[in-house]
Amino acid sequence: MYEIWLTLNILFELGLQYLPVVIATTVLWVLLMGIAASRGRPGWGRAIKPAAVAFVVVTAITFFITPGLTQSSFANMSYWVDWGNLFLYAAAFGGVAAALIWPLAATLRRAG
């Protein structure tokens, strides 16, 4: 339980450290959603597949490059919490990528 609490504290502190990036990404997403909605009949349903592909690709890339970027390795991950943290971290980046791709794809795949 201590490891999970420690992870939550670290994520909170990282969120505070990168708050400008988080705010800028949120503003970008809101702008993209607004542009997609204002261009007339965006294809929200048709845009799910490209967003899902972006999620899978970015999650996989992030999963495999993160240990090297943090000067660690998969060999150092011996506890299930380590693997869970890595997967959730990668999935979070994949979710952000999917959220940003979705309105762009919806704009390009307008409903007829």
For the chain, the domains span: 2-108
pLDDT at 80: 86
| pTM for this model (two decimals) | 0.84
Confidence category of residue 50, pLDDT binned at 50, 70, 90? very high
pLDDT over 90 (residue 94): yes
pLDDT at 111: 65
Distance from C-alpha of 86 to C-alpha of 64, rounded to nearest angstrom = 9
Q: How far is CA 112 from CA 24, 48, 104, in A?
A: 32, 17, 17
CA triplet 107, 88, 61: central angle to 5 degrees? 65
pLDDT digits (tens, 9 = 90+) for 78-89: 888 889 989 999
Least Cα distance to 36 among 109, 93, 94 occurs for: 109
pLDDT over 80 (residue 1): no
Going by the DSSP 8-state scheme, the letter that residue 55 receives in this structure is H
DSSP reduced 3-state for 66: helix
